[in-house]
Chain A
């Protein structure tokens, strides 16, 4: 069963506008963590933001924020004031705390293109 779903294979956004990348997840673990990573065309995986399942407030890191809706099992990434350098693949990932080890389960990714 797919545990992380990213339904947008590709998205376009105008420079300086905000964009939301969707992520839904499925787990029976009461404690879990949700992550977003960015993968530019150069290939490296860059950590962006983390949300714990018990965190009361949505996580924010600079221009990145995570819209966490626990009841709907969604963890959407919001990028404000998009920049050309934001063009990349974005992956949502989940870690189930009580699962064995600390492995991350990734979605299929969303390719974001920022237009000047």
Chain B
């Protein structure tokens, strides 16, 4: 158990819908990262927050947004869902902004029908 929690574990929804994925980092970690794992794209970095502020953006679609709250938990919002958004979404956390090991949560498996 990495200490990072993610809810829900599984999510099945329809195209056009909107979902919210939630992540709680390890106690003491200030950085939260979101990654998407799909068969065709592999593991891709989406976005990073550090202590409530956005720090880096990767290949995140405009339909996707994220935030980190004062209690350091983070949410990833996916809207206008398409079939191709079906993937495993990971949250990871680390103590610092750049140089620490990232520990991953168990992931949320999203299926868009």
Contacts and interface: CB of A to CB of B under 8 A. Distances in A.
Interface of A: 33, 35, 37, 43-47, 50, 91, 93, 95, 97, 100-109
Contacts of A101: 48, 50, 55-56, 97-98
B42 A109 contact: yes
Contacts of B104: 37, 44-47
Contact of B88 (A43, A100, A106): A43
Given A43-B106, A47-B103, A95-B98, A103 B48 contact: yes
Contacts, number: 68
Interface of B: 2, 31, 33, 35, 42-45, 48, 50, 55-56, 58, 88, 90, 92, 94, 96-107, 109
A102 B42 contact: no
Nearest to B96: A102
B103 A105 contact: no
15 contacts: A35-B101, A43-B88, A44-B105, A44-B107, A45-B92, A45-B107, A97-B98, A100-B56, A101-B56, A102-B48, A102-B100, A103-B45, A104-B35, A105-B45, A106-B43
